[in-house]
Structure 1
Amino acid sequence: MADDSLTGEALFNDPYPVYARLRREAPVALFEGTHEYFVTRWQDCQTVGANDAVFGPSASDNRPEARVFGIPNVLSMSGPEHQALRAGIDYEVQQQRVDGYIEDLARPIVVKYIDAIRSQGEADLTQQLFEPISVRIVGDLIGLTQIPNETLQSWFHAINGGLQNTVAQDPAVWARCDQAIADIDEVMRAMYEKVCAAPDATLFSHVVYGGLPDGQRRSFEDIMPTMRVIILGGLQEPGHGAANAAYGVLDDKEQSGLMRTEPSTWALKAYDEGLRWIAPIGVTPRVARQDFEIAGTRVPEGASVAIVLASANRDEGRWENAEAFDMRRKKKANATFGYRPHFCSGHYLSRAAGRIALEEAFARLPGLRIDADKPVNVKGWRFRGVVNLPARWDA
């Protein structure tokens, strides 16, 4: 039976029973493990997310994000400085730009990795397909074209481990996280020197120069906390979004049939539903700038607040049969990409890459199905995904 107690272990193993209980009994609850108030109902999350004047971004050194990413970063900033940095980040991932390059960038990568496993008749779709596709697409866009997939995957797994280590405080997990950060900094310092000498079209170069007056650039120290955010969220989210969606589809006979028959029709619907069903990024942090009462709970000034996106996405008051994956649902906005002004910059790129990955996987791997002899592994709560998705197909 699922554990619905508010503990770090229960959240990591499966947070959804915990969130369901909180929505019923304590929709705003203090989680002692991370010293933050969890806001779990859809409408309350909307209230907090839309009220940037009261619930601003958290720049506290006590936050796990500060320990892992560094402060300030794009998630902790506000005002004109944040707007200028977002201008640099957003340029290459805005819809018009993505529409212009996504087919030439993404589809050859997707086809390459599918062709590499197709004759095998079986594979771990997360580890051998969706994660490699995701890190290659986004890694190339960032400018990490010479860094192998295995390294990129190890980076975001190590950073992710650090963010989820704030309760257990496992020294080995911190050691891997710190080593990954050091390796990232070493690689990106060389990239920084290169774009300082000659700006280029990479997302990294746009972060260095974007949103600033001509002739100015950000320092290496200024941009690296934000680049760590981009590396974790950007490299991970499209892959885990696709894996989550594929698991939902493959676990349902009728939806599997629809996807196999018309992958181009259903791929984006499946990806969007997967983002709702298992949000790859489960929470987004805020800090209360003044005392505030919500859902009968007083949140004191200075308190850390976690908008639990994953819980909002399964609120029974907003979605019928909210716990189930159903790509046939009537389209309705979910909370996965957060709230403005911190709405995820890469949302359109993520959806475009995920659509192509799912479309090609179901089109090119006939009879795609879950391998019933091997376990599917889903874990995490700050970042959650289907980390192992064993599958078979008719080779």
Structure 2
Amino acid sequence: MTVIQDFANAVTVTDLETDPYPIYRRLRAEAPVCYVPAVDLWLVTRRADVAAVGNDPDTFTAALPDAPVNRAFGEPNILTATGDTHRELRGSLEGKYKPREVAGYIDQLVEPIVAERLKVLDGLTEVDLLAEYFEPISVRSLAEVLGMGEFDSDTLRRWFRGLAEGAINFERDPARQAVSDATVQEMLTAMDPLLTRMEREPDDSTLAHMLWSGRDAETGERGPRDRAAVLPSLRVIILGGMQEPGHGAASTLYGLLSEPEQLATVLADPEGQCGTAVEEGIRWVSPIGTQARLVTRPTELGGVQLPMGAKVSAVLASANRDEAVFDEPELFRLDRRSRRSMPFGFGLHFCVGHAFARSQMRIALARLLQRFPELRLRPEQPVDFRGWEFRAPTSLWVSLDGRE
């Protein structure tokens, strides 16, 4: 057995959750396509190979029958569906999330939510911005566009944490699955009145589009889609859409606060620079780490022969730190010449909500820095990152008045 395979065999889920980046760095250098038993996946870590997986759905299909997301959320869901089913699911979402559509409503949607959270921060000197600012903005923004505004932020945050336990359960931990299953059941019960109302009186929300897109909503001639065809994808949207913007913005701010010169650049022009900062932040720490695929026929990838039926994970987080693409990829830098990161995936399953997420992060970050230009990290409360499928700081404590 080779040294690198010994290394891969020794990798644990805890290692990946704690800090996957040193593991990815070694795999990129020595075994860019490598089987890791702890997660029962071939990890694909170089950008070119990750792109090859994402752009070849015939060889690398998203239809992974035993994927954790299928066990947790059910099927069909937008992450693992293929063919006509995937096209129908994606089509039901594009009416709300195409970049042109998002540009028409995002300011009106997000600005009041941001203003409300800034009022909560007024008068405070110390605060965990993840818990009190970025996550609440993320969950409230998505809830409003989904048509789920009646649910409070704490409930929504609890739901996406519970759903995540199932979505990342590659090791098939019964405790994690139990948390996820309980969350799904709670959501089913809580959302029943809302779904009943949307089935009778659809509005312009995402949920109504998922139920009625392509149907005759005026006469009800064909009726709404069956809930079973919609709810698995709704759970995916709640998990990813509430997690990625809030956590990506928090990681971006941490990057800026760790680099005073770059922070000064953004503070000088928040409106012009926050978009650039967000792009670098979600490259530097990718909120969504992987895309899992199933090999449909024997194929070679990265110099490795993969058999039909092999399960691969195209590691977006690793591709976004590939030394062949990015100079000093482990550093947070606003002046990068290459912007070829892939925080939202590749190919047919490229995240449909990317424009919504990017805009939300940009607005939240810009308004925060405009209101509190003196904010600084609190050294006595260091920032700790966790996760490999979903990576984010566990908290982000700052002094809003600049005092350390």
TM category, shorter: over 0.9
- Which has the higher mean CA deviation after the structures are superposed, 123-132 or 203-212? 203-212
1:79 alignment partner AA: G
**Structure 2 contact 127–400 (Cα < 8 Å) conserved:** no
Question: How far did 1:170 drift?
Answer: 5.4
After superposition, where does 1:283-298 map in structure 2 within 5 Å?
283-298=290-305
1:187 and 2:190 are equivalent in the alignment: yes
**Structure 1 contact 88–206 (Cα < 8 Å) conserved:** yes
2:245 alignment partner AA: P
Within 2, Cα distance between the matches of 1:292 and 1:236?
Answer: 34
1:345 aligned partner = 352
Within 2, Cα distance between the matches of 1:373 and 1:76?
Answer: 43
After superposition, where does 1:58-69 map in structure 2 within 5 Å?
58-60=63-65, 62-69=66-73
The structure 2 residue matched to 1:226, chosen from 233, 237, 241, is 233
Question: How far did 1:304 drift?
Answer: 1.3
* Unmatched runs of 5 consecutive residues or more in structure 2: 1-6
Question: How far did 1:331 drift?
Answer: 5.1
* Unmatched runs of 5 consecutive residues or more in structure 1: none
CA deviation vs aligned residue, 1:228-259 (integer Å, no higher than 9, x gap): 10010011111011001001111111011122
The structure 1 residue matched to 2:205, chosen from 186, 202, 206, is 202
- Which has the higher mean CA deviation after the structures are superposed, 179-188 or 98-107? 179-188
CA deviation vs aligned residue, 1:75-111 (integer Å, no higher than 9, x gap): 1111122112111111111112111111111011111
Within 2, Cα distance between the matches of 1:168 and 1:303?
Answer: 18
Identity across the alignment (%): 35
**Structure 2 contact 41–312 (Cα < 8 Å) conserved:** yes
1:53 aligned partner = 58
After superposition, where does 1:10-29 map in structure 2 within 5 Å?
10-29=15-34
Question: How far did 1:58 drift?
Answer: 2.5
SS at match of 2:313: strand
SS at match of 1:336: coil
1:354 and 2:357 are equivalent in the alignment: no
Question: How far did 1:378 drift?
Answer: 0.7
1:113 aligned partner = 117
2:128 alignment partner AA: D
2:376 aligned partner = 369
2:262 aligned partner = 255
**Structure 2 contact 345–351 (Cα < 8 Å) conserved:** yes
* 4+ residue runs over 4 A deviation: none
2:138 aligned partner = 134
CA deviation vs aligned residue, 1:8-52 (integer Å, no higher than 9, x gap): 111000000000011011110112122111110000111111111
Within 2, Cα distance between the matches of 1:298 and 1:353?
Answer: 42
1:8 and 2:13 are equivalent in the alignment: yes
Question: How far did 1:176 drift?
Answer: 2.3
**Structure 1 contact 85–207 (Cα < 8 Å) conserved:** yes
**Structure 2 contact 76–85 (Cα < 8 Å) conserved:** no
The structure 2 residue matched to 1:37, chosen from 39, 42, 56, is 42
2:145 alignment partner AA: L
1:104 and 2:111 are equivalent in the alignment: no
1:380 aligned partner = 387
2:4 aligned partner = none
Question: How far did 1:377 drift?
Answer: 1.9
1:91 and 2:98 are equivalent in the alignment: no
Question: How far did 1:112 drift?
Answer: 1.1
**Structure 2 contact 63–82 (Cα < 8 Å) conserved:** no
How many residues are paired up? 391
**Structure 2 contact 40–170 (Cα < 8 Å) conserved:** no
- Which has the higher mean CA deviation after the structures are superposed, 356-365 or 158-167? 158-167
**Structure 1 contact 41–315 (Cα < 8 Å) conserved:** yes
Normalised to the residue count of structure 1, the TM-score between the two structures is 0.95
2:75 alignment partner AA: I
1:337 alignment partner AA: F
SS at match of 2:349: coil
Question: How far did 1:260 drift?
Answer: 2.0
2:158 aligned partner = 154
1:278 aligned partner = 285
Within 1, Cα distance between the matches of 2:171 and 2:60?
Answer: 24
1:144 and 2:151 are equivalent in the alignment: no
**Structure 2 contact 375–400 (Cα < 8 Å) conserved:** yes
Within 2, Cα distance between the matches of 1:378 and 1:219?
Answer: 39
**Structure 1 contact 189–220 (Cα < 8 Å) conserved:** no
2:313 alignment partner AA: A
Question: How far did 1:216 drift?
Answer: 4.2
SS at match of 1:30: strand
SS at match of 1:341: helix
Compared CA separation, residues 222 and 375, structure 1 to 2 (3 A): same
